[in-house]
Amino acid sequence: MTHAALGFPLWIRATHWINVLLIGFLIRAGIQILAAYPRLYWNEHCTPGTEWLKVTKKRMPADQLWTALDMEEEVPAWLGQPGGNNLGMGRHWHFSAALFWVLNGPVYVILLFATGEWRRLIPTSWAIVPAAWHTFLIYVTLGQPPASAFHPFDALQQLAYAAVIFLLAPFLILTGAAQSPAIEAQFPRYARFFRGRQGARSLHFLGLAAFVVFIIHTALVVYTGFGPTMANIILGQPAHNQGQAVAIGLGLITLILLIYGLTSWSSRVAPRRVQRTLGALIAPPMRALALHTHSRQHYPSSAISPYFIVNGYPPETPEYRQLKEDNFRDWRLEIGGLVAHAHSFSLAEVRALPKQTQITKHHCIQGWSGIAQWGGPLLGTLLEQCQPLPTARYAIFYSYQCDKTGQPFYEALDIRLTGHPQTLLAYEMNDQPLTVPYGAPLRLRVETLLGFKLVTWLRAIEFVEDYRGLRDGQGGSREDTMYYEQSISI
Ligand SMILES: Nc1nc2c(c(=O)[nH]1)N[C@H]1C(S)=C(S)[C@@H](COP(=O)(O)O)O[C@H]1N2
Ligand SMILES: [Mo]
């Protein structure tokens, strides 16, 4: 008896339907993430004008300051998860679905080999190549292969399915991971293999495009033989009670669409609840990655970006303006909270500490990157003087600039990251004193995290036991107002 005659076992059908649901989430949320910076590059600098693909009409003015947030696009709700301008929610859905997707995949593959079902997918003879070529020729001449060619797939389909499962899916996982600041910081060569973050991002997008082509193909296959195909993929048997199969199949498709609709809707009306629920799911692996990677980046000066994108408008307060006019003579960095010795550092004191310089890549959550040299003392050096207490678990960084709520921009950092080898307070960028757009006089650099944690225009660092009592309780301005995740290593 051939395998085709055995029909499709329940686990194949179940994993496939789960896969359909998850891939829809991944694609929809992936489009949402892309919209936050709808430009693709093959270079790491994202210099305006060097993109190979641009899905936006926005042009940034040459004569006034613009920031990366001005480049975000809205996505229609039918296309993006959840639609609108919503990077934070898009990321929650993308990574939650990815988590289940990388679990579902191995379950499927293990069962595939354990049961012998792999014979349907993996060619066992080179004869498949000429056979696939033959069906290809039939298709391009708009012919229909004879029914005998399908058992249950024709040779071309068999090759395509095997390629999607064993090549395209791993490719998407690998190029996804290569965009992570933590992974790139710890394994620079891994990311370089994909031409760095921007190469990985472009390839990830091309992988998505390939997936969409494959999905259209599959949809056509299903459509051309709707009844029999539904019998196969619902009941696992050809031509067995087709009417019932079609009803169940249409029901499942409707259910999946309903799930997309409801989850998108709830993300629009109750984003905080979605952030909490999905956040609980993705935070543990994110945090583990952030805590267990160390930045070992040492780019040569030739790698420094000609232009470094700005994100965040400089503080407009009279207080900051005065400080700037006086060349930051009276500026102070207050370190306090749960420390043995609170201290207020002048800029001269900060400059007098041992200086480290590092040439590293900045990874913005929106998608852009840039390489610069940063100079300043290690944060750990200042903390040796202040001695955070054993109860302190987070360092809260406050800025002179205000966030959307009108209160000082703040971000919480796990205390375990404060002593990392490239965590520093920079007063220099590319050998020059830090200028106002980039955070003068002092900014944070943590080279395994996404850019929004790296507070610019620093004013104070406060050690606390927990950030949940602070403001909206999510651990930072961006977490509170834009639903970003608190631990942010990818
Ligand atoms: N105070 C403050 N710090 C901030 C921001 C901000 O808006 N305000 N933006 C963050 C984001 S999203 C990024 S990507 C980096 C950008 O740093 P740059 O402007 O020097 O490129 O700063 C981070 N630090
Ligand atoms: Mo950012």
Give residue-wise pLDDT tens across range 418-433: 999 999 999 999 999 9
Look at residue 161 and tell me whether its pLDDT is greater than 90: no
**Paired tokens of 262:** 């409801």
Three-state DSSP at 317 gives coil
Q: Which of 311, 360, 397, 477 to mutate to test the pocket of ligand 1 (most atoms within 8 A of CB)?
A: 311
Q: Rounded to an integer, what distance in angstroms lies between the CA atom of residue 78 and that of residue 55?
A: 17
**Paired tokens of 411:** 């971000």
Ligand 1 atom at shortest distance from the alpha carbon of 478? 12
Query: Starting at the edge strand that comes first in sequence, how are the strands of the sheet with 343-346 ordered?
Result: 343-346, 332-337, 458-464, 394-402, 408-414
The ligand 1 site (C-beta within 6 Å) comprises: 308-312, 364, 399, 401, 409, 438-439, 451-452, 454-457
Q: Work out the average pLDDT over 38-55.
A: 96
Q: Work out the average pLDDT over 393-418.
A: 97
- Position 245 confidence tier, pLDDT thresholds 50, 70, 90: confident
pLDDT reported for residue 409: 98
Residue pLDDT, tens place only, 443-454: 999 999 999 999
Look at residue 146 and tell me whether its pLDDT is greater than 80: no
Q: Rounded to an integer, what distance in angstroms lies between the CA atom of residue 48 and that of residue 478?
A: 25
Question: Which residues partner with 345 through β-bridges?
Answer: 333
Ligand 1 atom at shortest distance from the alpha carbon of 437? 19
Three-state DSSP at 362 gives strand
Ligand 1 atom at shortest distance from the alpha carbon of 308? 21
Residue type, 455: V
Look at residue 309 and tell me whether its pLDDT is greater than 90: yes
Lowest-confidence region among 5-9, 197-201, 377-381: 5-9
Terminal-to-terminal C-alpha distance of the chain: 48
| For the chain, percent of residues with pLDDT exceeding 90 | 76
Q: Rounded to an integer, what distance in angstroms lies between the CA atom of residue 96 and that of residue 161?
A: 25
DSSP string, 426-462: ESEETTEEPPGGGTTT-EEE-TTS-GGGS-SSEEEEE
Look at residue 6 and tell me whether its pLDDT is greater than 60: no
pLDDT reported for residue 4: 45
Closest ligand to C-alpha of residue 307 is: 1
Task: Tell me how far the alpha carbon of residue 141 lies from the centroid of ligand 1, in angstroms.
Answer: 55
Q: Find where tokens 């610069």 sit.
A: 372
- Position 219 confidence tier, pLDDT thresholds 50, 70, 90: confident
Residue pLDDT, tens place only, 56-96: 888 888 888 899 999 999 999 999 999 999 999 999 999 99
For 322-421, where are the E strands, in sequence order? 332-337, 343-346, 356-363, 369-376, 394-402, 408-414
**Nearest Cα residue to atom 10 of ligand 1:** 452
Three-state DSSP at 376 gives strand
Q: Work out the average pLDDT over 118-136.
A: 84
Phi, psi for residue 385 in degrees, rounded to 5: -75, -35
pLDDT reported for residue 443: 98
Q: Is the peptide bond before 152 cis (omega within 30 degrees of 0)?
A: yes
Ligand 1 atom at shortest distance from the alpha carbon of 309? 21
Between the alpha carbon of residue 418 and those of residues 21, 241, 304, 377, 422, the distances in Å are 40, 64, 25, 12, 9
Residue type, 476: G
Q: Find where tokens 């050690």 sit.
A: 463
Q: Is the model more confident about 232 or about 416?
A: 416
**Paired tokens of 302:** 């030739």
- Where does residue 338 rank: exposed (0-12), middle (13-18), buried (19+ CB within 10 A)? buried
Phi, psi for residue 401 in degrees, rounded to 5: -85, 155
Ligand 1 atom at shortest distance from the alpha carbon of 438? 20
Look at residue 138 and tell me whether its pLDDT is greater than 90: no
Task: Tell me how far the alpha carbon of residue 10 lies from the centroid of ligand 1, in angstroms.
Answer: 50
pLDDT reported for residue 244: 87
Q: Which residues surround ligand 2, an ion (CB under 5 A)?
A: 311, 364-365, 451-452
Q: Is the peptide bond before 441 cis (omega within 30 degrees of 0)?
A: yes
Task: Tell me how far the alpha carbon of residue 392 lies from the centroid of ligand 1, in angstroms.
Answer: 25
- Position 136 confidence tier, pLDDT thresholds 50, 70, 90: confident
